[in-house]
Amino acid sequence: MKANTEEKKWNLQQNRRDSKLQAAKDKGLAKRVPSDRTIELLETVLTPEDKVCIEGNNQKQADFLSECLSQCNNDVLNNLHILQSVLALPSHIDIFEKGIASKVDFSFSGPQALRLAKLVQQQKIQIGSIHTYLELYGRYFIDLIPNVCLITAHSADADGNLYTGPNTEDTPAIVEATAFKSGIVIAQVNELVDSVPRVDIPADWVDFFIVAPRPNYIEPLFTRDPAQITEVQILMAMMVIKGIYAPYQIKRLNHGIGFNTAAIELLLPTYGAELNLKGKICTNWALNPHPTMIPAIESGFVDSIHSFGSEVGMDEYIQNRPDVFFTGKDGSMRSNRAFSQTAGLYACDLFIGSTLQIDLQGNSSTATVDRIAGFGGAPNMGSDPHGRRHSSYAYLKAGQEAADGRVVKGRKLVVQMVETYREHMDSVFVEELDAWQLQEKMGSDFPPIMIYGDDVTHIVTEEGIANLLLCRTPEEREQAIRGVAGYTPVGMQRDHEKVKELRQRGIIQRPEDIGVDASKATRDLLAAKSVKDLVKWSNGTYAPPSRFRNW
């Protein structure tokens, strides 16, 4: 066998990293970088076409670093490939409009959905894929390995040990993928301290840190004012509790964001208790610390909550409820989006959330022609995990319903809870999702469908519940969806005789079919009717953001 005369080099990535660090050192940039030299640092250690992971979470934002990146010279930095779970801030889109970045792989873009859609229509941005969170984190360790990551933490000590506080969120996944594959880790922190309360990210994983001019932005994303909950949402919540949670004995679950699910949370101490369901449903959660969960916690419904992130104003309440939340010795909560997503995927029996569009097969999406909101964790939470091997009452019952009792595997319950019309009288139920048009605009191999119809088990509207598990043909499934689609064009085209038959078989259930008295669906049923009521339930330990205070 002929020997290879040219020796292969195995440390090219390390050499590239070392040269970047040396260039920073040559400019007098030490580990702690003055905030007014941040742009200089970025232009030194980033190079065109680098994969750059910006910590843009659901809530916590590396906002100072993102703004500095958007102010870099595009002659120096261009064609960056951005890896980011959430496009939340204007600066996240500015870098594409200014030519600093050209490609993005992301999960969610709620606040920037309109701007992102416009860039796609103008073909000024290349979207690799719209991922679910776990999928994106997984690719950080496979083929989307960051060359540089820009993260944020609450505090750092002089060595660069980082304390992330309750909003740890994506930080561990981002740093691990970068630091252990010859990448460069740059952190902005709120404060420099003598000693951090706990070491969440060790100093030797961090290359540079900057004390930012202001604390990092945290969006109170999961705060819902009970005063905004409508009687229609209360009626739907009653149907969910009595028609789904009770018969399936749902104990382990995740709630999506919204007033619909907030209504469920606020009905547990009242309607749930009236139905004698304490200890029988909603005991173990993968969930952010929603303030609307406070009455259910105080009423003894909740045993545990593991969180993706935290929520503004909930720190003291969480510290006083360590039996419920995952907290450290310092008393603060430790969140972790990757772990909580895994719990939601494999350890929960039910996901319930909302969407912008549902088609006749039950496919749903929050990506429309004029608004690309992305998916976040919904495809993880809202999917039937074929890797699951443990049983539960709910998992077994759903599996039996789906297979006429001949069960080989169970089924996770995936519920879409929607009012038939959304804002501007746009119908949620459509013959065809906008996703098909978007696929063409994005040049994607797949349409951006959030939750596939074959994973959806129930659809709940103000008209009733459609149990898709019990449908045996595509035609039955279509008529079940039409049967709860209300006075939308889709609903008006239902086959009335078929819908009547489906109702007799229990596939469609109206409120009266499950003993829900619609006349009782009033705001009097809410355990808390205002944010001020939530503060009272917390014994004054919940400190809501100022924009939610009206007293």
- As given in the structure block, the two tokens for residue 213 are 């001019």
Does residue 512 share a domain with residue 430? yes
* Domains identified in the chain, total number: 2
Does residue 199 share a domain with residue 237? no
pTM for this predicted structure: 0.95
Is residue 130 within 8 Å of 367, Cβ to Cβ?
yes
- As given in the structure block, the two tokens for residue 237 are 């919540």
Is 217 within the bounds of a domain?
no
Is 538 within the bounds of a domain?
no
Does residue 381 share a domain with residue 433? yes
Is 165 within the bounds of a domain?
yes
Q: What are residue 547's DSSP bridge partners?
A: none
- As given in the structure block, the two tokens for residue 60 are 């916590």
Does residue 307 share a domain with residue 368? yes
The helix or strand, by DSSP H or E, that contains position 478, with its residue range, turns out to be: helix 474-482
Q: What is the spatial distance between Cα 363 and Cα 478, in angstroms, rounded to a whole number?
A: 11
Does residue 174 share a domain with residue 70? yes
Q: Tell me how far CA of residue 19 lies from CA of 74, 149, 467, in angstroms.
A: 21, 17, 60
Does residue 517 share a domain with residue 489? yes
Does residue 156 share a domain with residue 42? yes
Is 537 within the bounds of a domain?
no
Is 542 within the bounds of a domain?
no
Give the HSE-up count for residue 250: Cα atoms under 13 Å, Cβ half-sphere: 27
Kind of pairing, strands 367-368 and 371-372?
A: antiparallel
Question: In this structure, what CATH number is given to the domain that contains residue 469?
Answer: 3.40.1080.10
Does residue 258 share a domain with residue 345? yes
Select from 211, 238, 259 the last residue of a domain: 211
Q: Residue 182, exposed/middle/buried by CB under 10 A (0-12, 13-18, 19+)?
A: middle
| Vertex 440 angle, CA 437 and 446, to 5° | 90
Does residue 182 share a domain with residue 151? yes
Is 237 within the bounds of a domain?
yes
Is 174 within the bounds of a domain?
yes
Is residue 529 within 8 Å of 224, Cβ to Cβ?
no
pLDDT tens-digit profile, the chain (551 residues): 555 667 889 999 999 999 999 999 999 999 999 999 999 999 999 999 999 999 999 899 999 999 999 999 999 999 999 999 999 999 999 999 999 999 999 999 878 988 998 898 888 899 999 999 999 999 999 999 999 999 999 999 999 999 999 999 999 999 999 999 999 999 999 999 999 999 999 999 999 999 999 999 999 999 999 999 999 999 999 999 999 999 999 999 999 999 999 999 999 999 999 999 999 999 999 999 999 999 999 999 999 999 999 999 999 999 999 999 999 998 999 999 999 999 999 999 999 999 999 999 999 998 888 778 888 899 999 999 999 999 999 999 999 999 988 888 999 999 999 999 988 789 999 999 999 998 888 888 999 999 999 999 999 999 999 999 999 999 999 999 999 999 999 999 999 999 999 999 999 999 999 999 999 999 999 999 999 999 999 999 999 999 999 87
Which domain does 507 fall in, by range? 226-532
- As given in the structure block, the two tokens for residue 56 are 């843009």
Q: 253 by DSSP, 3-state: which?
A: strand
Residue with tokens 């304490």: 278
Is 6 within the bounds of a domain?
no
